[in-house]
Amino acid sequence: MVTFKQVVKGLNIRPEIGFFGYSSVVLIKDGSENILFDTGGYGVRKFISDLKDKVEIHKVFISHLHFDHCANLCLFSDIPVYVHKNELSSLSANKNLYNDIYEFVSSSLEKLNIVEFSQEDFLTENAKIVLTPGHTHGHSSLEILNQDKRTLIAGDAIETFQEFLDPTYQTEYENRDKYLQSFKHIKNNYPIIIPGHSSVIDTTKTFENSFELKIF
């Protein structure tokens, strides 16, 4: 039996001069294994630390190495951390622009038990890695199996409900063509999507009557 919970609901706040990073974090329980999808930004560090004290986390899966998704990796030095190899190889691409963030992420990775992957595979019996490049070169998502409806924890392959309705809303990607391919694949195949910066999107509910569909 596999269950999951969006323990941190991501926000998408974009002032005129920058970006407030607050990403979704999802806890997956598959049998005896607990997986954390992304670790969130620094602002939720205490929450993630408290969660780690309450729940034994066996694996961490990182969708991509942007600071708002991996700032709390340092809390998980004793367990496997799964990251696509292209994320690791391209980490220094923005070094000149965001040197301090690059140094922070790099120093954190050096202390971790990193497990590189490059292909779609099963992380656990009911959690499958789905490659969704575009937002970053190695961006990856997780499909939750054994559900009534196909479910994808998308990360920033789809950040928000607004982007789900109109992909041109998204202007931040490393490869636009791959981003659009990933977007189309997700939208055509997964009726339930957990975006990187908003609440769960359930496309089986009509928007007119979906009062449960909370978009932040």
Least Cα distance to 70 among 114, 33, 29, 32 occurs for 114
Report the pLDDT value the prediction gives residue 215, as an integer from 0 to 100.
34
CATH assignment, 2-202: 3.60.15.10
| Pairing, β 122-124 against β 113-117 | unpaired
Tokens of 212: 């449960």
pLDDT tens per residue across span 32-78: 999 999 999 888 999 999 999 999 999 999 999 988 999 899 999 99
Prediction pTM value: 0.89
Residue ranges in the chain whose pLDDT is less than 70? 14-15, 18-19, 92-102, 206-216
Residue 169: its pLDDT value, please? 81
Predicted pLDDT at 210: 39
Taking the alpha carbons of 94, 95, 97, 99 in that order, is the dihedral positive or negative? positive
Yes or no: say if 109 and 141 are a contact pair by the CB < 8 Å rule: no
- Which pLDDT does position 31 carry in this prediction? 95
Q: Where are the domains of the chain?
A: 2-202
Check residue 209 and give its pLDDT: 41
What does the alpha-carbon distance between residue 203 and residue 143 come to, in Å, rounded to a whole number?
A: 16
Using a 10 angstrom Cβ sphere, with 0-12 exposed, 13-18 middle and 19 or more buried, the burial of residue 167 is middle
